[in-house]
């Protein structure tokens, strides 16, 4: 079964740090670009960061640039998000998401402008004093 499982969320004080992890299984993790997407309570989806399959390309939303760092370990089938200098507005459920699509029984990694086809269950990050 194709699965993404996030962990590492919790309560942290403003200015603090947290490291999120996403464990992938059921597919060839090293072939896919991966993403972090967040959703503040009662709000819409917000893309946070992306990393290509070999870590050659990394992108960040302006709202987290300079504070968050995305990384991956293909040998461990894992994606990470190091979050520093956390603010109250970073409070959200954080999802990891695979980039690609499945059609006709086969799955493809797709291009940079492709959709996010597999999502984890999310991990809650609360930034509060």
Partner 1 sequence: SYELTQPPSVSVSPGQTASITCSGDKLGDKYACWYQQKPGQSPVLVIYQDSKRPSGIPERFSGSNSGNTATLTISGTQAMDEADYYCQAWDSSIGYVFGTGTKVTVL
In this structure, what token pair is assigned to residue 10? 């919790």
Of 5, 9, 117, 126, the one binding partner 1 (CB under 8 A) is: 117
Q: Let me know: does 72 contact 33? Beta carbons within 8 Å.
A: no
- Residue 103 is a binding residue for partner 1 (CB under 8 A): yes
36 is an interface residue for partner 1 by CB under 8 A? no
Q: Give the chain's radius of gyration (CA, Å).
A: 14
The C-alpha atoms of residue 73 and residue 10 are separated, in whole angstroms, by 23
For partner 1, the closer of residues 42 and 75 by Cβ is 42
Q: 3-state class of 125 per DSSP?
A: strand
113 part of the interface to partner 1, by CB under 8 A: yes
CA–CA dist 116, 99 (Å, integer): 4
Please give the span between the terminal C-alpha atoms of the chain, in angstroms, as a whole number.
39
Number of chain positions touching partner 1 (CB under 8 A):
28
Taking phi over 0 as left and psi of -120 to 50 as alpha, with beta for the rest, 26 belongs to: left
Stretch that binds partner 1, among 9-17, 18-26, 46-54, 76-84 (CB under 8 A): 46-54
Q: Which is nearer to partner 1, 16 or 45 (CB)?
A: 45
Among 5, 23, 45, 124, indicate the residue that binds partner 1 (CB under 8 A).
Answer: 45
**The one among 61, 71, 82, 126 contacting partner 1 by CB under 8 A:** 61
* List of residues contacting partner 1 (CB under 8 A): 35, 37, 44-47, 50, 59-62, 95, 97, 101-105, 112-117, 119-122
């Amino acid at each position: 079964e194709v699965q993404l499982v996030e962990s590492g969320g919790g309560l942290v004080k403003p200015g603090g740090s947290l490291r999120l992890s996403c464990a992938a299984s059921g597919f060839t993790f090293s072939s896919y670009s991966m993403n972090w997407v967040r959703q503040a309570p009662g709000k819409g989806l917000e893309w946070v960061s992306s990393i290509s399959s070999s870590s050659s390309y990394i992108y960040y939303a302006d709202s987290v640039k300079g504070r968050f760092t995305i990384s991956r370990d293909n040998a461990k089938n894992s994606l990470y998000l190091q979050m520093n200098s956390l603010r109250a507005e970073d409070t959200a459920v954080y999802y990891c998401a695979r980039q690609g699509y499945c059609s006709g029984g086969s799955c493809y990694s797709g291009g940079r402008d492709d959709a996010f086809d597999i999502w984890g269950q999310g991990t809650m990050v609360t930034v509060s004093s």
